[in-house]
Amino acid sequence: MSEPARRGLGRGLSALLGEAGPADGGARPDGDVREAPIELLRRNPQQPRRIFSEAELDELSQSIREKGVLQPLLVRPAPDAPGEYQIVAGERRWRASQRAGLRVLPIVVRTDLDDLDVLEIGVVENVQREDLKPLEEAEAYRTLIDRFGRTQEEVARTVGKSRSHVANMLRLLALPAGVQTALNEGRLTAGHARAIAAAADPERLAKLVVERDLSVRETEALARDAAPRRGRAPEIKSAPVKDADTRALEQDLTEALGLAVAILDHDGRGEVRIAYKTFEQLDALCRRLGEGL
């Protein structure tokens, strides 16, 4: 199933719907638009999209009442129901048409589509139109890989995405259930989820992201800070030994200011650090520095 000669579905749905004929200009034998009673159309159980917005369906059904179905549904003969059709592309239009009270729908019948074709077309249609939720997209990629033996590279070519995009989406499937729920509900974006996917405790990080309303960049920084350091433990460098003159000067400044003073010297260059514990101490220090010691 991975032979290069397979259809390049990533090119879009127009050719699949019969809008672009064969190279010789002839019509497809089963690619003409026809009408079918709505009750003879059945949803595809392998449809990648599982969640349909009620508001979007209502909006589309209103448009269909006014203008009809402008694009035919792509179907194939139902494998287990002679005389009926399985929807390959257009389930949302089918659902909205039911709400609009339509009795018949325009369809394009394709008898040459196998199960892999049907799944790939469903993925392409939804991904190109950005209709899939992140986990739906990831599950569709996983099905193409596990059930049909596709590689990540082949899946990427099929849907017109990069291989790294496919790999990153697949990582979402390893997230804990709580994080996946937040992703499905829109409290986390795919970018947030990818940022914490490799963390030791992504569920805890997800709660922090939601509570603090962090951006993706901030979430990436949070995940980096939470990541255990790899390799050897960092080498702890001992502080350079201070000479007697430096220690004496620190002592004099500490007594003069009433605050702990540290001098960091490196070959005649360095810094003086003055530690304070309250704002009042800082205010007093500023006044004394302004007046002169």
Average pLDDT over residues 252-258: 79
87 within 8 A of 42, measured Cβ to Cβ:
yes
Report all structural domains of the chain as residue ranges with CATH numbers, in order of start.
Answer: 9-21+28-132 (3.90.1530.10), 175-225 (no CATH), 244-291 (no CATH)
Angle at 180 between CA 174 and CA 181, to 5 degrees: 160
Specify the pairing of strand 104-109 against strand 33-37. Answer: antiparallel
48 within 8 A of 122, measured Cβ to Cβ:
yes
Catalytic positions? 91
One-letter amino acid at 47 equals: Q
d(CA 109, CA 72): 10
**Prediction pTM value:** 0.53
Reduced to 3 states (helix: H, G, I; strand: E, B; else coil), residue 189 is coil
Q: Tokens standing for 156?
A: 């990427």
Positions of E strands within the chain = 33-37, 41-42, 73-77, 85-89, 104-109, 261-266, 269-274
pLDDT of residue 109: 92
Look at 49 and 149; give whichever has higher pLDDT: 149
219 within 8 A of 195, measured Cβ to Cβ:
yes
Residue pLDDT, tens place only, 67-79: 899 889 999 999 8
Residue with tokens 């099905």: 143
pLDDT of residue 104: 93
Confidence of residue 229 (pLDDT cuts 50, 70, 90): low
Residue pLDDT, tens place only, 158-212: 888 888 889 988 999 999 999 999 998 889 999 999 899 888 889 999 999 999 8
Q: What is the mean pLDDT of the chain?
A: 79
